[in-house]
Amino acid sequence: MIKYIARRLIIMLPELWIITIIVFALIQLSPGTFLDQYKLDPSVSQETLKAMEKELGLDKPAIVQYFYWLGKVVRGDFGYSFYYRRPVASLIGERLLGTFVLSLYSFVLSWIIGVVLGIVSALKKYTLTDKILTVVAFSGLALPGFFLALVLLYMAARTGWFPIGGMYSPETSRLDVWNAFKDIFWRMQLPAFTLTFGGFAGLMRYMRGSLLDVLNEDYVEFARAKGMPERVVIYKHALRNAINPLITMFGYSLSGLLSGAVITETIFSWPGLGRLTYQALLQKDYYVVMASTVIGTVLLVLGNLVGDILLAAVDPRIRYE
């Protein structure tokens, strides 16, 4: 297992390098540069534009810019943000907290609710409970996230029950730790509900289908024929095998913890990494986009690795030699 993990981590390096090349090439091929917004301003002289171009390194060929950025990344420096005029590492560091808190909260809720309701739906197959849960699940899959977010935002504005946006209130900095936590937690409910509603619906359907398939297997019928209690048959034998497909999905889901939710963060004015990356794309802020790409790629590869390790831990038929 240790050799397998080491091999996967070594393979990650060329994968990451190739992805950064592709992303940087796509950014360079897109029309315009960061300085276009200044070129439209008649008060900005050509001498100023040339000085800014040289200062930001945009006067060099694209391949020189890439390897200059890559050399700095190897030393732990993700570059300098054109738009915010500050190091990218500190800029992303500020946004990571907001994204991580929101994503982790909705991630935990999605998995707990999705798995539990999926099991209930499978065990209550074709009953009224199953039909109600099916309607809820299909609603979560079909309802666009931006539409749900707008509905919740409208409800908050009309009722005043929830804050209408932002992670912090004007009073947060003056509150003690516990009250500040409660304030942020309360402001997080609407964006978290938006992410959770769409997330748990798919997990519930996967869990239901997987458990129903396993319940029809011969070894489950054999366990029942031996006189085992139904609770033991389901939760010890059937569920242990039905959970395998979801473990693979769990690894993929980990990559979303820091990648952000662009639409949700934008609608609710949540200061997260997804919103920052979207704004950087619009501003042609290359190094912010590249740093976000590196973070997302690393999490995706590590998430897949975690999923494979967990799958081997719960399924004795799988071994990585």
* 139-169 pLDDT, tens digit each: 888 888 888 888 988 888 888 888 887 777 7
| DSSP conformation letters of 260-298 | --HHHHHHTT---HHHHHHHHHHHT-HHHHHHHHHHHHH
- Mean pLDDT score of the chain, rounded to an integer? 83
Share of residues in the chain with pLDDT > 90 (%): 8
The mean pLDDT value for 237-266 works out to 77
Domain ranges across the chain: 16-87, 89-318
pLDDT value for 318: 65
Instruction: Give me 51's structure tokens.
Output: 């000085």
The mean pLDDT value for 195-210 works out to 88
| Confidence label for 315 from pLDDT (cuts 50, 70 and 90) | low
Entry pTM: 0.80
User: pLDDT at residue 33 above 60?
Assistant: yes
User: pLDDT at residue 321 above 70?
Assistant: no
Rounded to an integer, what distance in angstroms lies between the CA atom of residue 300 and that of residue 292? 12
| Confidence label for 121 from pLDDT (cuts 50, 70 and 90) | very high
Longest dimension (CA), the chain: 87
User: pLDDT at residue 176 above 70?
Assistant: yes
Q: Does domain 89-318 have CATH number 1.10.3720.10?
A: yes
* Residue 189 to residues 16, 150, 167, 241, Cα–Cα distance (Å): 35, 14, 10, 34
